Amino acid sequence: MAGVAKLFDGHILDKSNRNVDLNHEKYQGKAIGLYFSAHWCPPCRGFTPILVDFYNKYGSEKNLEIIFISSDNDEESFNEYYQEMPWLTLDFKEREISS
């Protein structure tokens, strides 16, 4: 986890828009999935509900955490799309980190 935590340097947010410390014991030993997606992408929009269903059913059992990394063009689209997701996100303002 330290590698992912170092890469994103404190810019990961939870659903309440609070910073998440990926070095916290809660995240130790978890598999981290990076989900690159965008509101404007039809295949992404089709896949997101499938991934949400998998995460909700098996995320705890599989010790999985997902971080959404947006390729949206604006924050309003990002916010609308992220509402559909139950996991963490890279702060929209910091999405250049993933480039």
Q: Could you tell me the CATH number of the domain that includes residue 20?
A: 3.40.30.10
Return d(Cα 89, Cα 63) in angstroms, integer: 17
Which is more confident, 49 or 99?
49
Model pTM?
0.89
State the chain's mean pLDDT as an integer.
90
Looking at the predicted structure, is the pLDDT value of residue 3 above 90? no
Type of residue numbered 72? D
- Give the mean pLDDT of 61-83: 95
Structural domain including 10 reads: 2-98
Q: What is the predicted pLDDT for the residue at 24?
A: 87
Query: How many domains is the chain built from?
Result: 1
**Measuring CA to CA, how many Å separate 34 from each of 3, 88, 89?**
13, 10, 9
Q: Is the pLDDT of residue 2 over 60?
A: no
